[in-house]
Amino acid sequence: MIVSDNDQCDEGRQLPAGLPAEAVLRRLLLPCGEELLLVAMPQEHDGDGQPPHGTPLLAEAATAWVAAATPAATVISVPLYGCHVVWAPGRAAVIGAPSRLEALATAVTDFADREADLRHLEQRCAELLESLDRDAPHAFAVDERTFDQRDALAARFREAVAVRGRLARAAPAVHAPPVHPPTLASQLGERLRDRTRLAERHEFAVDRAELAERLYEACGQRAAEFGIARRQQGLEWAIVVLLVIQTTLLIVDLLARGAAT
Amino acid sequence: MDDSARLPRVAIVGGGPGGLFTAWHLERMMATPVSLTILEASHRLGGKVCTASFAAAPVTYEAGAAELYDYSPVDDDPLRQLVRHLGLPTVSIGGAAVFVAGRPIANLDDLASACGENARHALMSFDTRARSAMTAGEFYESGADHAADAAAGGPFVGLLDGITCADTRRYVDVMIHSDLATEAEETNCGYGLQNYLMNDPAYMRLYCIAGGNEQLMRAIAVRLAAAVRLGTAVTEVRDGPDGAIRLRLQTQGQATHEDFDVVILALPMDALERVRFVGASLADALRRHVEHHAHPAHYLRVSVLLDRPAPPLPGDDAYLMLDAFGGTCLYVESARDPCAAHGVLGWLLGGAAAVEMAGLPDEAVVAAVLASLPVPLAACREQVLETRVHRWTGAVSALPGGWTRLPADRRHRPSPAHPKLFVVGDYLYDSTLNGVLDSAEHVAGWVAAEQMPERLAAPAASVGKTTEASP
């Protein structure tokens, strides 16, 4: 899931203040289009389950750095045996043994992409819901004035279907069962998923997208029915006119014959 | 004539989970009223589900069952549904770390770095074999009649011996020992596999009830209409007049006897062994029942109150496994309450180590468990305010269902010649609370469907010498 486009990946940038010199900062472009600034901080552990002496300070510095960019967002801090990960939308820091940093970075990036993707979909759902109240009456009745809005309604229907499609594609990753026996990366991914309530958020987004899809589907049906009815009405009038002409001609013909006899 | 004298009389012997679950189901399944009496030898209900309090501070701890099993990832979970029905808040718990030689192994990467790639491959190989031997569906159905074959397979130690790497073998031993509560040679592959596979969230998850697991027992007890007689031990069971069953009761040193239409023995195996069954066929049937099912397993619970909250475990874990005592589980119980002012640590020792430690004085037991604390919790040794030790020797089964599991009806009615005498117990299923609930439901359904219509058709006038009020 990590973007491998080197043009987009800016490693070794100048480190923010408070982070150790051996830390590596990477700018990653996630597949969903969002950027992630990731700091990897190598830290050797004794292997007894106790974090090294400096880890709390490092975690504190990492938390401050992660929180600085997104003060409104909730910063998620996940201590695991032998490593510590801090994440917020757009920024993440991993502290761990050098041999495990790459696996941790991959897990965080994987998660960050899923979360960002879901966040964008939630935003699109919210925009759909904004027009929901306004468009709801069109699901029952359409007149000449609203019929002119059918292109906009169709666009929102396409948007709802597109969002549902994206949510369906995201579902397997969001609802994946925990890996067993676990790996460090799987444990980290599951903790981050739990802490950000990814599964619940996905379900709510699906519900909202489904609601929008149903509404705009109904709007589309009403608009189509209205269009068909309007065409039928035109045809009916044409038939009436033709019948009148035919009747007139018939009368003229009869009168002409009567005059001749 | 008092109404209760005409009602069929049902005695449930034992006020532990089995007795309470049976009463709960009976009261809901019976189409007609019955006079239901729960006879409990001790002065509290709940049995092995026991949430006690420290004296030094108003802090509770689990003295018995540490957690409940959630089978809902696989299928319907009647116990989870019951907990929800009773409106009890729950807390999910988990723990990945196994401390071997002072080093935490919380995942495959840790295992590989501590013991080498060979250890990782050995664990993956064993895990694959375990999953092939028992799927999540089979795990869920263990205890059912059609799942009898899954329980076969000889001693569990044979399966463990197939682990080629000694480090991995040690890791698996430590991981499952305290849940198994016995040694691998004392149980079969089916039960051993259950205790290994329960670590996989696809098979099962763990949870506890906020405020203590005993809340479940209390919530059931207050909703029962049954008469509850605490401090009343059943010492003898024999045939009574007109097809009734006569119980000899011991209350405050006084012996009496009472006759009941139906008797349900909801006792742990060690308590069942202490009851005297009079009459050749009854005594023989119960002797065979006990012989088949008596495979005692042992627990020892040690709880320690700390003067401040214990440090949180990494990864939001609620417990970890230690290689001390052949494999023991250490719960950081205070982690379940984010507002806790004190720390509570709880050790769960199982098997031979539990028996050995149970013979020592409390001080020696506490000293031994405190010495086992891993480095991340070592500072807790200096913060101890109070300690408690609870011995559960022989309280559970090392081989639920026995080496060959009998059909469910046979398990629950040990003497076909005594169709109104039933037994309920976790030892008949899988040594879990879920199992005892299944057992209780089986018997309650049986009694409701078969016994009562027959009894109502021909009420025995001689039955019912006591004057307990009917529900």
CA A91/CA A69 separation, integer angstroms? 7
CA distance A51 to chain B (A): 8
Interface of B with A (CB under 8 A): 73, 96-97, 99, 102-104, 106-110, 113-114, 123-124, 127, 199-202, 312, 314-316, 374-376
- Chain B residues in contact with A80 by the CB 8 A cut-off are 106, 314-315
Q: Is B183 left (phi over 0), alpha (psi -120 to 50) or beta?
A: beta
Of B96, B312, B316, the CB nearest to A182: B96
Mark yes or no for CB contact B113/A191 under 8 Å: no
CA B9/CA B36 separation, integer angstroms? 6
- Chain A residues in contact with B127 by the CB 8 A cut-off are 180-181
| B277-300 pLDDT, tens digit each | 999 999 999 999 999 999 999 999
The stretch B111-140 carries a mean pLDDT of 93
Q: Where are the domains of chain A?
A: 3-241
Mean pLDDT, chain B, whole residue set: 90
Neighbouring CB atoms inside 10 A of B86's CB total: 16
Residue A6's pLDDT is: 35
Secondary structure in 3-state letters for A110-172? HHHHHHHHHHHHHHHHHHHHHCHHHHHHHHCCCCHHHHCCHHHHHHHHHHHHHHHHHHHHHHH
| Band of residue B352 on the pLDDT scale cut at 50, 70, 90 | very high
CA B49/CA B221 separation, integer angstroms? 13
Instruction: Say if CB A80 and CB A188 are below 8 A apart.
Output: yes
pLDDT higher than 60, residue B29:
yes
Nearest CA among B346, B349, B351 for reference residue B328: B349
Residue whose token pair is 């709802």: A160
Nearest residue in A to B97, CA atom: A81
Q: Which residues pair with B84 in a beta bridge?
A: none
Q: Which amino acid is at B446?
A: W
Mark yes or no for CB contact A103/B201 under 8 Å: no
pLDDT higher than 60, residue B392:
yes
The stretch B146-152 carries a mean pLDDT of 56
Residue B224's pLDDT is: 96
Chain B contact present for A184, CB below 8 A: yes
Instruction: Say if CB A96 and CB A43 are below 8 A apart.
Output: yes
Residue whose token pair is 């009869």: A254
| B39-70 pLDDT, tens digit each | 999 999 999 999 999 999 999 999 999 999 99
pLDDT higher than 60, residue B1:
no
Residue whose token pair is 């035919």: A246
Residue A73's pLDDT is: 65
A230 alpha carbon, distance to own chain's centre: 38
The stretch B87-103 carries a mean pLDDT of 93
Q: Which of B103, B110, B321 to mutate to test the interface with A (most CBs of A within 10 A)?
A: B110
Chain B contact present for A12, CB below 8 A: no
| B408-464 pLDDT, tens digit each | 999 999 999 999 999 999 999 888 999 999 999 999 999 998 765 555 444 444 444
CB pairs under 8 A between A and B: 75
CA A23/CA A196 separation, integer angstroms? 26
Asked whether the bond before B361 is cis by omega within 30 degrees of 0, the reply is no
- Chain B residues in contact with A103 by the CB 8 A cut-off are 109
Neighbouring CB atoms inside 10 A of B363's CB total: 10
CA distance B113 to chain A (A): 10
Mark yes or no for CB contact B113/A186 under 8 Å: no
Instruction: Say if CB B234 and CB B256 are below 8 A apart.
Output: no
Nearest residue in B to A189, CA atom: B315
Nearest CA among B348, B318, B321, B320 for reference residue B333: B318
Residue A146's pLDDT is: 79
CA B364/CA B384 separation, integer angstroms? 15
CA A101/CA B233 separation, integer angstroms? 62
Residue B404's pLDDT is: 83
Per-residue pLDDT of chain A (261 residues; tens, 9 = 90+): 344 433 444 444 566 677 778 888 999 999 988 999 999 998 877 666 666 666 677 888 888 888 887 766 679 999 988 889 999 999 999 999 898 999 999 999 999 999 999 999 999 999 999 888 888 888 888 888 878 888 888 999 999 999 999 999 999 999 988 899 999 999 999 999 999 999 999 999 999 999 999 999 999 999 899 999 989 999 999 999 999 999 999 999 999 998 887
Of B103, B108, B314, the CB nearest to A181: B108
Residue B400's pLDDT is: 86
pLDDT higher than 90, residue B36:
yes
